[in-house]
Structure 1
Amino acid sequence: MALSTLKDRVRAATTGQSATVIGLVEDGKPSSPDQLQSSAQGEVGDVADVALTWLERYGNEFTRALPSHIDTGAFLAAVRAALPGLVPCTPASLLQAVLTCARFGLVPDGRHAVIKREGALAVFVPMYQGYVELMYRSGRVGSVHVGLIHAGDEWNFEPTAPSPLDFTHRPRVELPRAERGEPILAYAFCWMTSGARSQVVILSREDAEAIRDEYSQAYRRAQESGAADSFWHTDFDAMWCKSALRRLHKVVPMSAELVALTKTDDAGEAGQVQVVHAPDEDVQLLEEATAAHKAAEGSQDPQAGPRPLPRKRSQPKRTTRMGRRTGKGCRR
């Protein structure tokens, strides 16, 4: 039998077997996020079914949110690969994280972005390659250079010298890793399309650790819980490079999209709701997803009853230049 649904394809990819789509409909109405959460308290297989069925209903939303240059198949394949580790997350936070990732046009493939579980919440985390991608899209940046200087490399940094003589780096890639030594500095700079070069940002390991300790609540939570599973724990070098790239905003003109990415990244690190500015037709969907997210994290009063799923509302009728409203049955 052909695997025609998102849930079927994910189940087949993760278990090697096809699955039958279960319809989460009661009295002719789709289940709400709270109903999905309560029904997910059973077996692990039921949790996967619930998450996949719920996400399947929003496949068109992800497709519309993606920029035209992003391959929809690659994006959805990356989401499917991430789903097994995200099924314990609240449905509203999972929808919001995937929509945020799609809105920025970053594939959650582990290189450009990641959708990570923080307790019961799904969090969108842009990686440093994602920042580089958005810099190129701005149209102002010709090339971006970010890297790590190892102890055995040849390098020079003289801020008072004219560019490009103020900074040089010759990696000793021909040496064995042990001889090349440990990373000692991260750097980032870019050449603008105008031909000018930005200031070089240099970040020591101590600088990166200070940024981590001051700003990353995800790191502190992982430390306190003993899990040690934040990206600062598992991929310090990538976070080091990302911190150097983020400091470029002080010396390079940043697009509105890149500024929004930085704010969204900060919100995720602080454990706050991640919301991006979307086109007008999708603002209502994101607002209701945010409300559902907060409700899922709030009162668990059984008397409150089920909450509705976030749904896109119809657009208001437009008024023509002659003062007439469009649509059937409208008065002149």
Structure 2
Amino acid sequence: MTNDLKSRLRAARTRAAAPVEERHDQAADVPAQLADVKGTEDVAPAMDKTVMAWLARYSAEFEEALPAHIDRSSFFAAVRAILPKLARCTPASTLQALLTCAKFGLVPDEKHAVIKREGTTAVFVPMAQGFVDLMYRSGAVASVHVGEIRAGDEYSYTPTAPSPDDFVHRPDLTKSKAERGDVVLCYAFAWLRGGARSQVIILSREDAEAIRDEYSAAYQAAKAEGRTDSFWHTHFLDMWRKSCVRRLAKVVPMSAELVALVKTDDAGEAGQVQVLHAPNPEDARLLAEAEAASKAAEASQDMPTHTITGRLPVKRSQPRRKASKARRSGRKHTV
């Protein structure tokens, strides 16, 4: 039953058009217009106006999703910059990827998070710094160090030695990266409140490739089709470093929010719906609306495209007080 719902949701994303909210009934359907742009991802002046109109249409949903500590202007500036790159993505997947990113309080600036395009689907990808941010928010982690060891670097690792003497990395910073050689290992560790240091997570290139091959559906699909445009193809070192941080997240005190981010990231790698794993996802209602959108799209297959009116599942605005209470409640639970 779950797989059937997911299949229908993907079908709805592909075939159903985004609804026009009554409060913005004159706004242009920006994702649809962006999808008509061929051969360029640059932002033209006219395009810039329609992007902002689209953001204005869903401003209430984003305001409700964003945690109070996130700077709104920084978030919307980052979204405005990346929307043209998602020109060929379905409106539903674009909105859900951005809302998922907002719910975790991460800015899609390619440092904390990325919204990537997989075919016609927009996918939320939390990066290493995004996981680090959520570790800090848990209140149990004082600092996190993520690094890479190059072939010419001096380092030693003795797992049986007491910390911090078990791991040493001494890069020669007077040399360029090219002079230091290729990256051979990535690592991550954390200092906890109280002075203890976590386990050191070390991954070789072979380890990273094994993680990619086992868990990334997008990489496997690209490989099968002879493409080299998956995120693991184009951002291998970033994903290698992120894999270290993800494993580190499992050996430090984890908040409910960090657990949810891991599940959401897993869903994205597996090609599944991500917004349902985000904090306060309203699973039942979203699935019900997705089901309705799928049926509406199926019933409209033989009709002209301008008559398709399947609804897009989006989070309804709620009073800020109630949403804040729900988020405070979520922080009390740890795994």
**Range of TM-score over shorter length:** 0.7 to 0.9
Displacement, 1:175?
1.6
Determine if contact 2:30/2:50 at 8 Å carries over to the other structure.
yes
Distance 1:285 1:59 in 2: 20
Distance 2:238 2:37 in 1: 36
Given the superposition, is the C-alpha separation of residues 138 and 40 from structure 1 closer, same or farther in structure 2, using an over 3 Å criterion?
closer
Distance 1:58 1:147 in 2: 38
Displacement, 1:313?
5.6
Structure 2 partner of 1:137: 137
Q: Spell out the pairing of 1:1-332 with structure 2 (5 A cutoff).
A: 30=25, 53-275=53-275, 276-279=277-280, 286-287=286-287, 290-291=290-291, 301-302=301-302, 305-310=308-313
Distance 2:52 2:213 in 1: 36
Determine if contact 2:257/2:279 at 8 Å carries over to the other structure.
no
Determine if contact 2:108/2:114 at 8 Å carries over to the other structure.
yes
Displacement, 1:76?
0.4
For residues 139-168 of structure 1, give each alpha carbon's deviation from its aligned partner in whole angstroms, at most 9, with x where no partner exists. 000010111011111111001011111111
Q: How many residues align?
A: 291
Determine if contact 1:74/1:107 at 8 Å carries over to the other structure.
yes
Determine if contact 1:208/1:240 at 8 Å carries over to the other structure.
yes
Structure 2 partner of 1:13: none
Given the superposition, is the C-alpha separation of residues 257 and 28 from structure 1 closer, same or farther in structure 2, using an over 3 Å criterion?
closer
Secondary structure, aligned partner of 1:156: strand
Determine if contact 1:114/1:125 at 8 Å carries over to the other structure.
yes
Displacement, 1:77?
0.5
Task: Tell which structure's C-alpha radius of gyration is larger.
Answer: 1
Displacement, 1:71?
0.8
Equivalent AA in structure 2 for residue 237 of structure 1: L
Unpaired segments ≥5 residues, structure 1: 1-23, 316-332
Secondary structure, aligned partner of 1:135: helix
Displacement, 1:91?
1.2
Distance 1:49 1:296 in 2: 30
Displacement, 1:188?
0.9
Displacement, 1:255?
1.1
Given the superposition, is the C-alpha separation of residues 210 and 133 from structure 1 closer, same or farther in structure 2, using an over 3 Å criterion?
same
Distance 1:301 1:31 in 2: 26
Given the superposition, is the C-alpha separation of residues 245 and 83 from structure 1 closer, same or farther in structure 2, using an over 3 Å criterion?
same
Range that drifts further, 87-96 or 55-64: 55-64
Displacement, 1:270?
0.9
Structure 1 partner of 2:14: none
Distance 1:75 1:27 in 2: 25
Determine if contact 2:31/2:91 at 8 Å carries over to the other structure.
yes
Determine if contact 2:290/2:312 at 8 Å carries over to the other structure.
no
Given the superposition, is the C-alpha separation of residues 194 and 297 from structure 1 closer, same or farther in structure 2, using an over 3 Å criterion?
farther
Given the superposition, is the C-alpha separation of residues 290 and 156 from structure 1 closer, same or farther in structure 2, using an over 3 Å criterion?
farther
Determine if contact 1:47/1:87 at 8 Å carries over to the other structure.
no
Distance 1:28 1:245 in 2: 42
Given the superposition, is the C-alpha separation of residues 272 and 51 from structure 1 closer, same or farther in structure 2, using an over 3 Å criterion?
farther
Distance 1:27 1:136 in 2: 40
Displacement, 1:259?
1.0
Distance 2:150 2:90 in 1: 42
Distance 2:57 2:220 in 1: 36
Displacement, 1:298?
6.7
Range that drifts further, 230-239 or 143-152: 230-239
Displacement, 1:215?
0.8
Given the superposition, is the C-alpha separation of residues 118 and 186 from structure 1 closer, same or farther in structure 2, using an over 3 Å criterion?
same
Secondary structure, aligned partner of 2:210: helix
Range that drifts further, 88-97 or 293-302: 293-302
Equivalent AA in structure 2 for residue 215 of structure 1: Y
For residues 158-198 of structure 1, give each alpha carbon's deviation from its aligned partner in whole angstroms, at most 9, with x where no partner exists. 01011111111111111233331111111111011121111
Distance 2:103 2:22 in 1: 34
Given the superposition, is the C-alpha separation of residues 87 and 311 from structure 1 closer, same or farther in structure 2, using an over 3 Å criterion?
same
Determine if contact 2:199/2:251 at 8 Å carries over to the other structure.
yes
Distance 2:62 2:106 in 1: 12
Structure 2 partner of 1:6: none
Q: Which has the higher contact order (CA 8 A, sep 6+)?
A: 2
Displacement, 1:214?
1.0
Unpaired segments ≥5 residues, structure 2: 1-18, 39-43, 319-335
